[in-house]
Amino acid sequence: MDRRRFLASAASLGIIGVWATRSAVVSSRVVWREDRASFPQGVASGDPDDHSVVLWTRRPFDQGERQALTVEVARDADFRSVVARARSPVLAAADWTCRALVGGLLPATTYWYRFTDDSGAGSRVGRTITAPRASAPRPVRFAFVSCNSVNEGAQNAFRRMIWEDERAPADRKLGFVLHLGDFIYEVVEYPDEVPHRYSRTVYDMGRIPDGRKVGNFHVPTNLAGYRHVYRAHIDDPDIQDARAHFPFVCIGDNHEFSWQGWQSFIEYGGKIEPAQPLRVAANQAWWEYIPSRVRKASGPGLDQFGPPEVTRAPIETLDDHGFGTEANNRTAVGSMTAYRALRYGKHVDLILTDFHSYAMRNPGERPETDVFDSSFPVVPQELMEIIDGGKEYAGGNPPATITIGDKSAPNFRKDEPAYTMLGREQKTWLKERLTRSTATWKIWGATNGTLDMRTDPQNLPAGLTKDKWPGKDFGAFGGGDFSGAFSERAEIYDTVRDHKLSGFVTISGDRHSFWAGYATPKLPPAGFDPVGLSFITGSISAPGLAEAAEYYKDFPLLPLFVRKAPDAAPEATINLTIKHGVRAALEYAASGDIAKARAVTNPDVAPHLEFVDMAGHGYAVVSAGPDAIDTEFICIVRPITRAATPDGGPLRYRVSHRARLWRPGTPPKLEQQVLEGDAKLSV
Ligand SMILES: [Fe+2]
């Protein structure tokens, strides 16, 4: 893109566009004195393309509504080769956050940037990297992460990521960090009320202004509340350093709005409330604190969000995709459109979706399902499939009555649309992006896990439990994510197959656990027919299921979750339960012999899984080249306190999963290599 076109398009978008000069590279003449106290949340950069990037800082002023900062971009960290300089407004209306779009940059190039106010007080220096050109054959390397809780953990994984990147050779450095959501946790504990949860120390994030108490948590009720929570997360030194060191590409998950929320509904204690102003506030705070190119309803300017006026009106009617037709719901959700795609060189199309703004209410959370509650920690798969499919179940022939074991109830879903997390328009867009992609790897950043999480309770030994397993065969854990959206997932995967797409990969967060495997629309006994690869990253810091299980009260099925041997750390047998079946987990819990446990694997439980670790924290790194893709899991020890060493503390393991590019119609195959440490219950 040339200068005139960039500036014209930036101007037409209402954006302060800054065009880098290539001819007159000069040393900075700005008087800059680093003053981190004046820029308390540091700097960040987001959504780089092959010639531009959005730069960010926050400079709170005591007075006025509007001030200006000078932003500079240089080829070196000492600003001897400045390529761009501009004035950028910073507004009280945006909580004094500031964004500048800088264009005219070279592709796949590292730059440094900083902001300075008129007194000479300057931000720290940030580093960013532009994307390679769409024709560039170089491999793309990036990290994907999710779920950083500053309330209950330490962000040592970011420290490790920076430490490794600074020591990596040029061709092994990360191009960007993809954050798949739960960048904040809006559910905040106060340490004087809740000093500990599981093995965690609760850290003080301050008081949420106008917060609302929900159980042990306090949640925001307005914009000031969300802004407080963002600042408390970015005040963390490791998060702040990571944002200054790497460009970030972010998409929110549930906690950016509300733990159990969807569209502009919130739900606490089984009570659903319309919350249109809260949805707008959540979107606004995200937009203010995360530099990106997402669309907002107020138009394209980068100076402020421009929230629409909405009221808390009841949302009573739903369209044929379960979306609330009430005008304030449409306006609130439409205030920001976060789903988008980014191109990285010849090999990567990164397609990001939003699983909560357009989702139907999860039918598995509805009280009509309570009748089927059992003493088992899993739900019969056939029940989940019936309530997922709605009127589309069994080719449009849903049963009038649902019968599970000796319990029956009317099928409350038989006249309702199939469950959707994507919503109509986003799904159409996703299919189009996938089928039109010309990149070697079509990488779908699906914030919620896509890999089935199930086991085989039909194989529990007789007498272990008081009740008999009521299901036909397999049982699924939860279903709160895309792995429980059976029909919609099959629709996307069938699209991949029908269009003979190769290089289809899903990457997710949210589960607080590491998973590697295959994208398949069905599992035994229905079949197994993968169309791509799927990976899920462990949380940066938020606690996961295996940790929670260490605190479960004893019950007959506890060995399916955790093994507590005398004088040994608890071990996550849940990994075996999911990957190898209940008999393998019970064997290991009894004997501690992994070979004996693997010998009783049920191969039909998880042909789609090569790796699962419900106890892992850290991050994942993808390397995508012309012939193969490699996803490495870098797992750190449980991040309870901030690491004392600059490497972020010890690793538990580093495991690589590599697949060669497959021909359409042939199944992909992962090769696993444990590069460091011990991952024995996960493989
Ligand atoms: Fe999370």
Assigned token pair, 30: 């700005």
User: Distance from the CA of 679 to the center of ligand 1, in angstroms?
Assistant: 22
Would you give the DSSP letter of residue 60? -
User: Distance from the CA of 149 to the center of ligand 1, in angstroms?
Assistant: 8
- Token pair 């590409």 in the structure block, residue: 249
User: Distance from the CA of 182 to the center of ligand 1, in angstroms?
Assistant: 5
C-alpha to C-alpha distance for 316 and 328, rounded to whole angstroms: 12
Closest CA to 73 of 123, 133, 132: 123
User: Distance from the CA of 542 to the center of ligand 1, in angstroms?
Assistant: 6
CB atoms within 10 A of CB 530: 22
Strands 126-129, 609-613: pairing kind: unpaired
Backbone torsions φ then ψ of 387, nearest 5 degrees: -75, -25
H or E element that contains 33: strand 33-34
Please give the radius of gyration of the chain, using alpha carbons only, rounded to the nearest integer.
25
Q: The CATH number of the domain where 21 resides is what?
A: 2.60.40.380
User: Distance from the CA of 90 to the center of ligand 1, in angstroms?
Assistant: 31
H or E element that contains 70: strand 66-74
User: Distance from the CA of 447 to the center of ligand 1, in angstroms?
Assistant: 10
Query: Which class for 660: exposed (0-12), middle (13-18), buried (19 or more C-beta within 10 A)?
Result: exposed
User: Distance from the CA of 511 to the center of ligand 1, in angstroms?
Assistant: 7
Residue 411 pLDDT: 98
Residue 2 within any structural domain of the chain: yes
Assigned token pair, 317: 């009617």
User: Distance from the CA of 448 to the center of ligand 1, in angstroms?
Assistant: 9
User: Distance from the CA of 357 to the center of ligand 1, in angstroms?
Assistant: 17
Assigned token pair, 54: 């959005």
Residue 341 within any structural domain of the chain: no
Assigned token pair, 339: 């789903």
Backbone torsions φ then ψ of 315, nearest 5 degrees: -110, 100
User: Distance from the CA of 524 to the center of ligand 1, in angstroms?
Assistant: 29
Assigned token pair, 405: 């074991």
User: Distance from the CA of 328 to the center of ligand 1, in angstroms?
Assistant: 28
Strands (E), 255-355: 265-268, 271-274, 295-296, 336-337, 340-344, 348-353
Q: Say if residues 354 and 282 touch (Cβ distance below 8 Å).
A: no
Residue 545 within any structural domain of the chain: no
Tell me how many domains the chain contains: 1
Q: Say if residues 308 and 298 touch (Cβ distance below 8 Å).
A: yes
User: Distance from the CA of 287 to the center of ligand 1, in angstroms?
Assistant: 19
Backbone torsions φ then ψ of 312, nearest 5 degrees: -85, 70
Residue 15 pLDDT: 60
User: Distance from the CA of 539 to the center of ligand 1, in angstroms?
Assistant: 7
User: Distance from the CA of 258 to the center of ligand 1, in angstroms?
Assistant: 11
- Token pair 């407004």 in the structure block, residue: 89
User: Distance from the CA of 219 to the center of ligand 1, in angstroms?
Assistant: 15
Q: Say if residues 392 and 418 touch (Cβ distance below 8 Å).
A: yes
Residue 262 within any structural domain of the chain: no
Residue 25 pLDDT: 73
523-547 pLDDT tens trace: 999 999 999 999 999 999 999 999 9
User: Distance from the CA of 315 to the center of ligand 1, in angstroms?
Assistant: 27
User: Distance from the CA of 107 to the center of ligand 1, in angstroms?
Assistant: 33
525 preceded by cis ω (within 30°)?
Answer: yes
Residue 525 pLDDT: 96
User: Distance from the CA of 638 to the center of ligand 1, in angstroms?
Assistant: 15
Residue 665 pLDDT: 85
C-alpha to C-alpha distance for 87 and 17, rounded to whole angstroms: 10
CB atoms within 10 A of CB 140: 27
Residue 3 pLDDT: 74
C-alpha to C-alpha distance for 330 and 333, rounded to whole angstroms: 5
User: Distance from the CA of 185 to the center of ligand 1, in angstroms?
Assistant: 8
Strand partners, 144: 178, 620
User: Distance from the CA of 641 to the center of ligand 1, in angstroms?
Assistant: 18
Could you tell me the pTM of the whole model? Answer: 0.97
Average pLDDT, the chain: 96
Would you give the DSSP letter of residue 359? P
Residue 533 within any structural domain of the chain: no
Assigned token pair, 314: 């009841």
User: Distance from the CA of 141 to the center of ligand 1, in angstroms?
Assistant: 24
User: Distance from the CA of 153 to the center of ligand 1, in angstroms?
Assistant: 12
Terminal-residue alpha carbon distance, the chain: 47
C-alpha to C-alpha distance for 344 and 442, rounded to whole angstroms: 11
Question: What amino acid occupies position 313?
Answer: A
Strand partners, 56: 44, 99
Closest CA to 116 of 128, 106, 126, 127: 126
Residue 5 within any structural domain of the chain: yes
User: Distance from the CA of 292 to the center of ligand 1, in angstroms?
Assistant: 21
C-alpha to C-alpha distance for 3 and 100, rounded to whole angstroms: 16
User: Distance from the CA of 336 to the center of ligand 1, in angstroms?
Assistant: 21
User: Distance from the CA of 305 to the center of ligand 1, in angstroms?
Assistant: 26
User: Distance from the CA of 184 to the center of ligand 1, in angstroms?
Assistant: 9
Q: Which residues contact 363 (CB under 8 A, 6 or more apart)?
A: 369, 387, 388, 390, 413, 416, 419
Helix, strand or coil, per DSSP, at residue 303: coil
Residue 64 within any structural domain of the chain: yes
User: Distance from the CA of 148 to the center of ligand 1, in angstroms?
Assistant: 7
Q: Say if residues 514 and 540 touch (Cβ distance below 8 Å).
A: no
User: Distance from the CA of 510 to the center of ligand 1, in angstroms?
Assistant: 4
User: Distance from the CA of 183 to the center of ligand 1, in angstroms?
Assistant: 8
Q: Which residues of the chain have pLDDT under 70?
A: 1, 8-9, 11-17, 22-24, 479
Q: Say if residues 501 and 664 touch (Cβ distance below 8 Å).
A: yes
Q: Tell me the residue length of the chain.
A: 683
Q: Which residues contact 292 (CB under 8 A, 6 or more apart)?
A: 46, 47, 54, 249, 250, 338
Query: 97 lies in which domain range?
Result: 1-130
CB atoms within 10 A of CB 124: 16
- Token pair 């009570």 in the structure block, residue: 271
User: Distance from the CA of 187 to the center of ligand 1, in angstroms?
Assistant: 11
Q: Find the largest Cα–Cα distance for the chain.
A: 81
Residue 38 within any structural domain of the chain: yes
User: Distance from the CA of 162 to the center of ligand 1, in angstroms?
Assistant: 22
User: Distance from the CA of 274 to the center of ligand 1, in angstroms?
Assistant: 23
C-alpha to C-alpha distance for 350 and 443, rounded to whole angstroms: 5
User: Distance from the CA of 366 to the center of ligand 1, in angstroms?
Assistant: 22
Residue 282 pLDDT: 98
C-alpha to C-alpha distance for 666 and 600, rounded to whole angstroms: 29
User: Distance from the CA of 146 to the center of ligand 1, in angstroms?
Assistant: 7
Assigned token pair, 406: 């000796």
User: Distance from the CA of 181 to the center of ligand 1, in angstroms?
Assistant: 7
Between CA 199 and CA 207, with CA 202 as vertex, the angle to 5 degrees is 160
User: Distance from the CA of 614 to the center of ligand 1, in angstroms?
Assistant: 13
C-alpha to C-alpha distance for 495 and 640, rounded to whole angstroms: 43
User: Distance from the CA of 154 to the center of ligand 1, in angstroms?
Assistant: 14
C-alpha to C-alpha distance for 531 and 663, rounded to whole angstroms: 10
User: Distance from the CA of 180 to the center of ligand 1, in angstroms?
Assistant: 10
User: Distance from the CA of 150 to the center of ligand 1, in angstroms?
Assistant: 12
C-alpha to C-alpha distance for 443 and 625, rounded to whole angstroms: 13
Assigned token pair, 389: 């499919």
Strand partners, 636: 617, 651
User: Distance from the CA of 73 to the center of ligand 1, in angstroms?
Assistant: 34
User: Distance from the CA of 664 to the center of ligand 1, in angstroms?
Assistant: 34
- Token pair 């780089």 in the structure block, residue: 48
User: Distance from the CA of 669 to the center of ligand 1, in angstroms?
Assistant: 29
